[in-house]
Amino acid sequence: MVKHIPLIVLASTALLVAGCSSTEVEEQVERPVEQLYNEALNTALAGNAKKAAPKFEEVERQHPYSSLAVRAQLMAAWAFYQDNNYPRAIAALDRFVELNPADERVEYAYYLKALCYYEQIVDVQRDAEMTKLAMQAFEELVRRFPDGDYFRDATLKIDLTRSHLAGKEMAVGRFYLSKQHYGAALRRFENVVTDYDTTNQVPEALYRMTEAYLSLGLASEANRVEEVAVYNYPKSIWTQRLLELRANPERELEAGWFERTAESVVNLFD
Domain assignment of residue 55, yes or no = yes
Q: Is residue 24 part of a domain?
A: yes
Q: Does residue 27 belong to any structural domain of this protein? A: yes
Q: Are 221 and 244 in contact (CB under 8 A)?
A: no
Domain that includes residue 4, residue range: 1-92
Distance CA 54, CA 47 (A): 14
Looking at the domain assignment, is residue 77 inside a domain?
Answer: yes
Residue 133, C-beta contacts closer than 8 angstroms, at least 6 positions apart: 117
Instruction: Please tell me the distance from the alpha carbon of residue 169 to that of residue 164, in angstroms, as a whole number.
Output: 9
Q: How many domains does the chain have?
A: 1
- Give the whole-angstrom CA distance, residue 256 versus residue 214: 11
pLDDT in single tens digits along all 270 residues of the chain = 546 556 555 554 544 544 444 444 444 578 888 888 999 999 999 989 999 999 999 988 888 888 899 999 999 999 999 999 999 999 999 999 999 999 999 999 999 999 999 999 887 666 789 999 999 999 999 999 999 999 999 999 999 999 999 999 999 999 999 999 999 999 999 999 999 999 999 999 999 999 999 999 999 999 999 999 999 999 999 999 999 887 876 655 543 343 333 334 334 434
